[in-house]
Amino acid sequence: MNKTDLEQHIIEAIEDNPYCSLATVEGGKPKVRYMAVYNDGLNIYMATNRCTHKVEELEDNPNVSLLLGYESGGTKDLLEIEGTAEVSRNGELRKQLWNDRLEKWFTGPDDPNYVILDITPKRIEFTGKGQELQVWEA
């Protein structure tokens, strides 16, 4: 499969699997939690509170790993994403990603505790249902 087709399959798999496991590094050891995933193509975003441990961990070490797919209700495609994360306070991005589900944690898109994890993929392993492993690299 060529890179353009692979990217399209990856984007579709991200859009069809709205949750992932996000791994950060804490004290030299992996720390994993579930997160909701938003994307614009291969640009991946996650909403979080600026006062969480994951924000502290990312400030010390921006390397992340995401695992998406093969869950109940998902496509059965599997994505393993390695990349880096930046904690963004970009007002336009916060407004763009704002949705009603976030009201449980934040007062609105201008809440000072509401930040976005902006994830830049470096390597993606994609295994489509019934397909061989494909690797995408930046």
Is the model's pTM score more than 0.85?
Answer: yes
124 neighbors 136 (Cβ within 8 angstroms)? yes
State the 10-residue block means of pLDDT for the chain, 138 residues long.
93 92 95 96 97 95 94 75 97 96 96 98 92 93
Residues 6+ apart with CB under 8 A from 14: 37, 39, 42, 44, 68, 79
Residue 71: its pLDDT value, please?
Answer: 65
Please state whether 70 falls in left (phi above 0), alpha (psi between -120 and 50) or beta: left
Q: At 59, which amino acid appears?
A: E
